[in-house]
Amino acid sequence: AQSVTQLGSHVSVSEGALVLLRCNYSSSVPPYLFWYVQYPNQGLQLLLKYTTGATLVKGINGFEAEFKKSETSFHLTKPSAHMSDAAEYFCAVTVFSGGYNKLIFGAGTRLAVHP
Amino acid sequence: GAVVSQHPSRVICKSGTSVKIECRSLDFQATTMFWYRQFPKQSLMLMATSNEGSKATYEQGVEKDKFLINHASLTLSTLTVTSAHPEDSSFYICSEGGTDTQYFGPGTRLTVL
């Protein structure tokens, strides 16, 4: 069965520092992988996704993620954190179930950015 | 991506009442919509898949008689929490799922007193 593990429920970085949010998945088929961001009391906004093709995926707000099949990972990075990046980040994998492509989410990582 | 709206954004109700939440796909005809529930500081849990013109399919453990879903058109799905109780207080989020990517609504905060 597909599942997603996000290592670290809380990550704190300084403004300007590298952001690294970890995501590992398990899937019996080639996965579709996603990163979403959630600001307080809001829905989820798609940051980026991997379906097929290039394994390094660039998203919005300077984020990118690399699909590494051998490591079953899809870590999210950003070279330089900004205060506005403080939010909850969710990694997700698609599972085909009951005739639909459903999303399985990780537990989430709360990113704090301090001056 | 698709634009999805939800109404209301916040609702407070008394225990025992029913609450209806609307989810609209504003720029895309959504045959399929998904409903999620998110408890504080937790991840999203899929409740059900809403299908235009047919019955919704519910995830294991979700009471279909308590969470009524109607998807009467390609742009509107509704979730009605019937006889709400304080334990139903949560953040309810819908998404449009017609492609390989889901686009989410802004969510509805339900508080049951």
Per-residue confidence in pLDDT tens, chain B, 113 aa: 778 999 999 999 999 999 999 999 888 787 889 999 998 888 899 999 998 888 899 999 999 999 999 988 888 999 999 999 999 999 999 998 766 788 899 999 999 99
Q: Over the stretch A4-53, which tens digit does the pLDDT of each residue have? A: 999 999 999 999 999 999 999 998 777 899 999 999 888 899 999 999 88
- B76 contact A CB<8A: no
Q: What is the pLDDT of residue B98?
A: 63
β-sheet bridge partners, residue B68: B80
**Do the Cβ atoms of A94 and B49 come within 8 Å?**
no
The dihedral formed by the CA atoms of A82, A87, A93 and A99, expressed in degrees to the nearest 10? -130
Residues in A touching B90 (Cβ below 8 Å): none
Q: Over the stretch A56-91, which tens digit does the pLDDT of each residue have? A: 999 999 999 999 999 999 999 999 999 999 999 999
- B93 contact A CB<8A: yes
For A94, nearest residue in chain B (alpha carbons) = B100
The neighbour count for residue B1, using CB atoms within 10 Å, is 13
Would you say residue A114 has pLDDT above 90?
yes
CA distance linking residue B64 with residue B25, whole number of Å: 23
CA distance linking residue A51 with residue A106, whole number of Å: 18
CA distance linking residue B110 with residue B17, whole number of Å: 12
Pick from A32, A98, A107: which is nearest to B49 by CB? Answer: A98
